[in-house]
Structure 1
């Protein structure tokens, strides 16, 4: 048996003309006839479904459906795990591994179906007279991207097969695109409380209670301790309970202590004694008196001035140039004073600094040479503040809003007596109801939801001590820290809990859906290409990539009707034995039937 090529590959070779041509080709190829052995035919009982698979597009359609199913499975997996914690899968499999397996299965099935479609189109291509090299181009294109690139260059995109070849070329980036789909950022996610472990997951901050600012609940030593802490420490932050190191709390209001300061240099005046002497004489005398810094309201300062006069002239002076004094304290008489827009503050202190003009000091008086450098006044009082608290990475972020210093007024006179005052936030109506409660041995009127409390003992609010330390740090800083220390004291004694939300840092799954566009288009394009190929060749035999079609339809003495189907050719091929032999004349290799 020898292979014979002739024009019209779909035509048979069993007619007389074909036999003559084949005989001529064989005669020219070999100088002697190779004896033909009687073929040994094996009988096989082929099942009907095998013929259907080989002679139809069933296998390719199943492959394409499998490719679509794998792609849908990938999308489903991504939808399920997108935005969730990275899963722990059995056998140490990762989500990337599962996606990669499904992507490989989808790609392999898609490439197989497209390759078969390209192979089928080559039989359609040779319905017209074409270059024989096109047979090799189609075969190379069905095998992979390199052959597809060569076919695209030859056809220049002007044939249906170019569509399939382009898909095979773009299949090179099918896997890399899937590798870019998944990323694993770290995010803070809310931790839900679990039964039996609520205490461990509970994150709480604390809000000062009104009752803990009443002297019946806190001793003088605790107030004094907080005052000392205010001028010797600077850390008064809240230390909330946050086991995970990442927590947030809703903004909440809380009672505390606040400070407010103002510069009164422009309105303060100096009141000093008029100590004069006869500078024309030779007097030697010592004078002592007090200079006062007088403010618009409240107590004045008192600083002692001592000077020595020798022979009618000032020899030396002794004056206290820096001073701190108590301007106002809320006493039992409730004098209804207002400082810096704060009604009846708990405590008001002032700081003053005096200077001397040497050139203004006269021989008979030093008063003209004394002047005020600056005066600062600060008040301490109850306030309501907004608290913003959070913990990030173990670091506490604590922010206070501007304070509402509230007001002192009489509420619910059926419960109170005349002169029985209450502290309440600004805007609290005088008709607000309060209830009686006992703290220690005292009866207190309160409305905790409205931050109202009554009948507190103002005598136990000590002023900050150690004037030298206050002068060193500045009165405004000292009062601010004292207010924070008093507020912290309330926090440490409260039993009101502000519950927040705890977060844990987890590795999350994030799907970058844009990387899915090209793979989806390739799967869709593969389906369209296979459908076009099936429709285009629906009236032709489905030879596809079968090499037997070339062999059988190039053999002589074979009836063309018997070998039109792929399954028939394969069945016959199982019973035909050939051998690649060299002809004796020119040593050409030919397949000869044995």
Structure 2
């Protein structure tokens, strides 16, 4: 609107409506003063003294009511619903709330709307503003060594292993969202899961060698000399597993290893702890969204049950996920989720080489087999469960980025992109307010016209000239004539005088003072007029 805000435009339109409605309501209210004091109207209302009688000051009250809020309240108090003018006064009062409530009637909001793609000359340039996030259904990623039959992981897989061991936090895999506000359905993918469990240790000592050997049920062991020296000894070794069997076909383990550590000081006996950690391929389902450019990702479920099967696509078999809860993970029952034997073998061999080594510390020295082993030792002194979850997250990222997908799920996991669009929100309940006011004002206008026609009153409204040409009883003139120059003099002398507007035989309109019952006064006036007519006839007869 050329710099004009929506709220300002709404207030301007509502103000225009109120002013337009006020024009004819104020005119009808001014016309109501003539109807109120007219003799026929007073006869219909009831003509007892003081109850329904019109006063000369009522003209000013009607005029004040047509001009503002205070006058409308005074008119309502004066008439007390005995005249149609009360309807006009109510309209004037309620009309002052138009601007106040206009903000509630129509509001301007920014709401998200689905983005259908960029258009140019009616042609969609990009019809997929939120493609499916990176995901994998099959892991068959490895390299062949120089000699026949040799296989090893790719460089990116090795990097994911190193990062998982050393890093404390793994960044989220980025998604594509052209509008910075996108949402996706639950996205299933092949990933990695992991856990560490505490193991019991077994002690055997050799008095001849003055040593003690601490071991786990899997065979991992370390030897400690029985002296009072301060030291820490740590050992990590790949194992077949007692809690997690690496040979299991129902779970696709790619690494199982023991962590065994000993700490000894001069004042304490050796403290030994042991854990068995495992990493395996699993199905994971994520709820992913992006809001204002910030990505949010939550894990909604995982599944790990596999079976070993032979297929045409796998030369030596594969770990295939079976009995997948499709509803929970949003998978298709026709989609194959699997890990090939060759890829599993390559990863197991590499993980076995990484998870093998020792760390030994004394007062001033530290010896470790590798940086990776030292990082594992550091993990045992902190939150081991958090460390293995970080390791699994790093491997999940690698699997999602470099695994493969089939064509059966193409487009199923694409998301919806939204744009913030301006929206005009209409509150229909609030629109009843101006609608009711308009109908009420039209009702008031037409009933004022009908009442004027019924009482034979012209549309004088707030005109000054009709008032100048209306006659007034001589008694009223005499009572107020000398008080026009006195502030408030006329109001004090004649404002409260009961009057009735009548039309004389000569067609002139005037005001006469009413005392007592209006009907009695009317009969008395008719009688006087008839007496004058009879007197004139007798006088002519005498002549």
Q: TM-score range by the shorter chain?
A: 0.5 to 0.7
Q: Secondary structure at the match of 1:516?
A: helix
Please list, as runs of the form range in 1=range in 2, the aligned pairs for 1:77-226 lying within 5 A after superposition.
89=1, 91-126=2-37, 127=39, 128=42, 130-194=54-118, 195-198=123-126, 201-213=129-141, 219-226=153-160
Task: Give the counterpart of 2:458 among 542, 557, 569.
Answer: 542
State the alpha-carbon separation in 2 of the partners of residues 356 and 528 from structure 1: 99
Q: Give SS of 1:456's match.
A: helix
| Equivalent residue in structure 2 for 1:346, among 245, 250, 254 | 254
Residue 259, structure 1, aligned to residue 194, structure 2: yes
Distance 1:457 1:415, change over 3 A: closer
Name the structure 2 match of 1:433. none
Following the alignment from structure 2 to structure 1, what is the Cα–Cα distance between the partners of residues 60 and 154?
103
Deviation string 1:41-80 (CA, Å, 9 cap, x unpaired) is xxxxxxxxxxxxxxxxxxxxxxxxxxxxxxxxxxxxxxxx
Higher relative contact order (CA 8 A, sep 6+): 1
State the Cα distance separating 1:356 from its structure 2 match.
6.0
Cα separation, 2, equivalents of 1:117 and 1:391: 60
SS of alignment partner, residue 261 of structure 2: strand
Contact 1:207 1:255 in 2 (8 A): yes
In structure 2, relative to structure 1, the CA distance for the partners of 1:346 and 1:162 (3 Å cut) is: same
Are the counterparts in 1 of residues 201 and 273 from structure 2 also a CA contact under 8 Å?
no
What is the CA distance between 1:451 and its match in structure 2? Answer: 0.7
> Residues of 1 paired with 2:93 and 2:234: CA distance?
88
Counterpart for residue 234 of structure 2: 322
Q: Output the CA distance in 1 between the equivalents of 2:467 and 2:138.
A: 100
Instruction: Give the corresponding residue for 1:424.
Output: 320
Task: State how 1:14-53 maps to structure 2 within 5 Å.
Answer: none
1:456 alignment partner in structure 2: 342
The aligned residue for residue 270 of structure 1 is: 202
Deviation at 1:544, TM superposition (A): 3.7
In structure 2, do the counterparts of structure 1 residues 426 and 489 end up closer, same or farther at CA, with 3 Å as the change threshold? same
Q: Quote the offset at 1:248 in angstroms.
A: 1.2
Instruction: From the superposition, tell whether residues 359 and 142 of structure 1 become closer, same or farther in structure 2 (CA, over 3 Å).
Output: closer
* Counterparts of 1:200 and 1:404, CA distance in 2: 30
Kindly state the Cα deviation for residue 563 of structure 1 after the two structures are TM-superposed: 7.6
Gaps of 5+ in 1: 1-88, 277-286, 308-314, 361-368, 430-446, 565-594
Q: Are residue 481 (structure 1) and residue 390 (structure 2) matched?
A: yes
Other-structure match for 1:520: 435
Q: Distance in 2 between matches of 1:119 and 1:358?
A: 108
Q: Please give the alpha-carbon distance, in whole angstroms, between the structure 1 residues aligned to 2:324 and 2:433.
A: 65
- CA distance in structure 1 between the aligned counterparts of 2:107 and 2:302, rounded to whole angstroms: 46
The structure 2 residue matched to 1:378, chosen from 277, 280, 289, is 277
Q: Deviations over 1:493-544 (max 9, x none)?
A: 3575842122233444333445434333322221222233234333223334
**How many positions carry a matched residue from both structures?**
416
CA distance in 2, matches of 1:111, 1:404: 72
In 1, Cα distance between equivalents of 2:334 and 2:212: 48
- Map Cα deviations across residues 468-498 of structure 1 (whole Å, 9 max, x no partner): 2111123544432232222222233357584
Q: CA deviation at 1:159?
A: 2.6
Q: TM-score, normalised by structure 2?
A: 0.66
Q: CA RMSD in A?
A: 3.8
Task: Work out whether residues 10 and 102 of structure 2, in 8 Å CA contact, stay in contact via their aligned partners in 1.
Answer: yes
Say whether the 8 Å CA contact 1:116–1:142 is kept in structure 2: yes
Q: Within 2, Cα distance between the matches of 1:209 and 1:260?
A: 22
Q: Does 1:303 align with 2:212?
A: no
Query: CA offset at residue 271 of structure 1?
Result: 4.2
The separation in 2 between residues aligned to 1:114 and 1:169, in whole angstroms, is 12
Q: Assess if the C-alpha contact under 8 Å between 2:229 and 2:266 holds in 1.
A: no
In structure 2, distance between residues paired with 1:415 and 1:145 = 88
| Alpha-carbon offset, residue 101 of structure 1 | 4.3
| Offset, 1:206 | 0.9
> 2:288 maps to what in 1?
389
**Corresponding residue of 2:161:** 227
CA contact under 8 A between 2:32 and 2:448: conserved in structure 1? yes
CA shift, 1:386, in A, is 0.7
What TM-score do you get using the length of structure 1 for normalisation? 0.61
Residues 369-389 of structure 1: CA deviation (Å, up to 9, x unaligned): 76x643221111110001111
- Residues 488-503 of structure 1 mapped to structure 2, 5 A cutoff: 488-493=397-402, 498-503=413-418
Q: Is the partner of 2:453 in helix, strand or coil?
A: coil
Paired with 1:335 and 1:469, the residues of 2 have a C-alpha distance of 23
Structure 1 pair 345–528 and aligned structure 2 pair: CA distance change class (3 A):
same
Deviation at 1:553, TM superposition (A): 4.5
Does the 8 Å contact 2:258/2:277 carry over to 1? yes
CA contact (8 A) 2:137 2:336 kept: no
Structure 2 CA distance for partners of 1:157 and 1:291, relative to 1, 3 Å? same
Question: Is 1:291 the counterpart of 2:197 in the alignment?
Answer: no
On the 8 A contact 1:193/1:202 being kept in 2, the answer is no
